[in-house]
């Protein structure tokens, strides 16, 4: 992660200077000072590029003088429509232009402290890279950008406010790292080990192995895991920062999904290394809450399995008994995430009595057909919880769209030989998957987030570089901060 520091407003030397320019504004502060120090170079560059500060506009000046390596600017759009999201996106646009600079100074003298921190957050989020396995990068391919200096009117207040933002960014980066790791490295055991290391943040961590889960009666989860040589794990993370019952987050953690006996097509199967993005997001948000010392009781549970077509793999037509005691006819072994969640969700409410439960899962391709990659699907049995999640999604930029539940969809899960089957056919596939999970909720306030379309970005998008997005960390942190955290 970039090193971020804060300083009073002054024109920097031997830095790149990054400007955030409102649409239609006249030169002010460091913008004006830099223009004067370079003999009007900034004004001339803006005019040549037809740059007026509109949302999404950028411009770059190389070696402009005054000891600066470059000046870059990003438009903020109209001042009256300035929002947290636009500040982050402008900061992100600057990050995309700073890869060749070792250090940069962000002129935030025209912003409030809160706005400066929001812009810096966007910049740092966009700077994420995962180069762990790249051994032959040419010098010009390696990023140099390592230090960001925020120049703001109240640098001490900004410095005091940054750790909260940094904690959330760390959680996002952790989730991205976990989802990006190849499946031959990050199997269920390895992921559990990495979560265990988060004890240093103050989290309590408990790990359940296959023998413990068999003793508990986790027949649904263990059925998914039985075809793999890599044994499953369930990990429970606890953060004690407040009073009362905890908020519970549950993540699907299929570290690789071949589909099992109902094997997936070979094309793009490599993407299934991030079928544990829900578990990664839960891990990231629990890390964030602990690092920022959130005033809330929270619990995160992740079911970690690998779905493989081994000699002992679950067969289509098998019947398993879930932890709840309900039986499931497994008609498609590629509808496995809901089986993992079934046991973990029932265990969560029985063991910890949470005030509400939110699960995250890359559950269905059907949600991508419905919503594309712009929104995650939100299913809920509780109007208040759904409204809070929608608001948190809008505020964080991790957008949700409410999807229906209903008895008509639930009837599609009727089995001829068991309490239910694990698929309901092609129509409404994301909905019937949610209906399946709802059978293990017991009317507890609950929401299911199908993040299959938002867990991975095929191109750079605002604060998210191409690759794992960490979707869900900022959303859930915002939910906690706005609605569950003690004042």
**Catalytically active residues, by annotation:** 264, 338
Instruction: Report the distance separating Cα 134 and Cα 119, nearest Å.
Output: 30
φ and ψ at residue 54, rounded to 5 degrees: -65, 150
Buried b (16+ CB within 10 A) or exposed e, 53-91: bebebbbebeebebebbbbbbbbbbeeeebebbbbbbbb
Buried b (16+ CB within 10 A) or exposed e, 243-274: eeebbbbbbbbbbbbbbbbbeeeeeeeeebbb
State the pairing for strand pair 147-151/3-7: parallel
Cβ atoms of residues 152 and 113 within 8 Å: yes
**Cα end-to-end distance, the chain, whole Å:** 30
Cα–Cα nearest to 222, from 235, 236, 209: 209
Cα–Cα nearest to 33, from 15, 11, 51, 53: 11
Beta bridge partners of 238: 204, 299
DSSP strands (E only) in 395-483? 400-402, 420-421, 446-450, 456-457, 467-468
Count of CB atoms within 10 A of residue 114's CB?
Answer: 13
Paired tokens of 174: 């952790």
Cβ atoms of residues 464 and 397 within 8 Å: no
- Token pair 């639930």 is found at 410
């Amino acid at each position: 992660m970039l090193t971020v520091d804060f300083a009073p407003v002054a024109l920097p030397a031997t830095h790149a200077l990054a400007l955030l320019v409102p649409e239609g504004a006249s030169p002010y502060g460091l913008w004006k000072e830099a223009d004067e120090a370079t003999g009007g170079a900034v004004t001339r560059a803006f005019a040549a590029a037809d740059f007026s500060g509109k949302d999404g506009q950028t411009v770059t000046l190389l070696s402009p003088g005054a000891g600066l390596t470059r000046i870059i600017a990003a438009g903020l759009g109209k001042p009256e429509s300035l929002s947290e999201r636009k500040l982050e996106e402008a900061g992100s646009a600057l990050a995309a232009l700073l890869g060749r600079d070792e250090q940069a100074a962000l002129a935030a003298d025209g912003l409030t402290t809160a706005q400066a921190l929001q812009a810096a957050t966007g910049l740092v989020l966009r700077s994420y890279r995962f180069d762990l396995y790249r051994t032959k990068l040419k010098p010009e391919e390696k990023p140099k950008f390592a230090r960001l200096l925020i120049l703001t009117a109240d640098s001490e207040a900004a410095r005091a406010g940054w750790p909260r933002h940094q904690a959330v960014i760390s959680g996002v980066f952790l989730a991205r790292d976990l989802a990006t790791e190849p499946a031959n490295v990050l199997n269920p055991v390895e992921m559990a080990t990495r979560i265990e290391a988060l004890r240093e943040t103050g989290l309590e961590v408990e790990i359940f192995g296959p023998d413990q889960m068999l003793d508990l009666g986790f027949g649904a989860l263990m059925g998914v895991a039985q075809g793999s040589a890599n044994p499953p794990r369930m990990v429970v993370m606890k953060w004690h920062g407040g009073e009362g019952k905890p908020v519970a987050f549950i993540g699907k953690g299929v570290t690789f999904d071949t589909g099992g006996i109902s094997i997936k097509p070979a094309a793009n199967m490599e993407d299934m290394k991030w079928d544990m993005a829900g578990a990664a997001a839960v891990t990231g948000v629990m890390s964030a809450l602990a690092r920022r010392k959130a005033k809330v009781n929270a619990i995160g549970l992740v079911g970690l399995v690998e779905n493989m077509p081994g000699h002992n793999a679950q067969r289509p037509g098998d019947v398993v008994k879930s932890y709840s005691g309900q039986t499931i006819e497994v008609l498609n072994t590629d509808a496995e995430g809901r089986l993992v969640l079934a046991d973990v969700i029932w265990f969560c409410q029985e063991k910890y009595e949470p005030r509400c439960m939110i699960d995250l899962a890359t559950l269905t391709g059907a949600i991508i057909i419905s919503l594309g990659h712009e929104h995650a699907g939100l299913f809920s049995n509780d109007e208040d919880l759904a409204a809070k999640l929608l608001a948190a999604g809008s505020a964080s930029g991790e957008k949700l769209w409410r999807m229906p539940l209903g008895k008509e969809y639930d009837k599609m899960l009727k089995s001829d030989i068991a309490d239910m089957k694990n698929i309901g056919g092609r129509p409404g596939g994301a909905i019937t998957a949610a209906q399946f999970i709802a059978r293990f909720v017991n009317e507890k306030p609950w929401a299911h987030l199908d993040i299959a379309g938002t867990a991975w970005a095929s191109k750079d998008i605002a604060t998210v570089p191409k690759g794992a997005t960490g979707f869900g960390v900022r959303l859930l942190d915002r939910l906690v901060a706005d609605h569950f955290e003690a004042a």
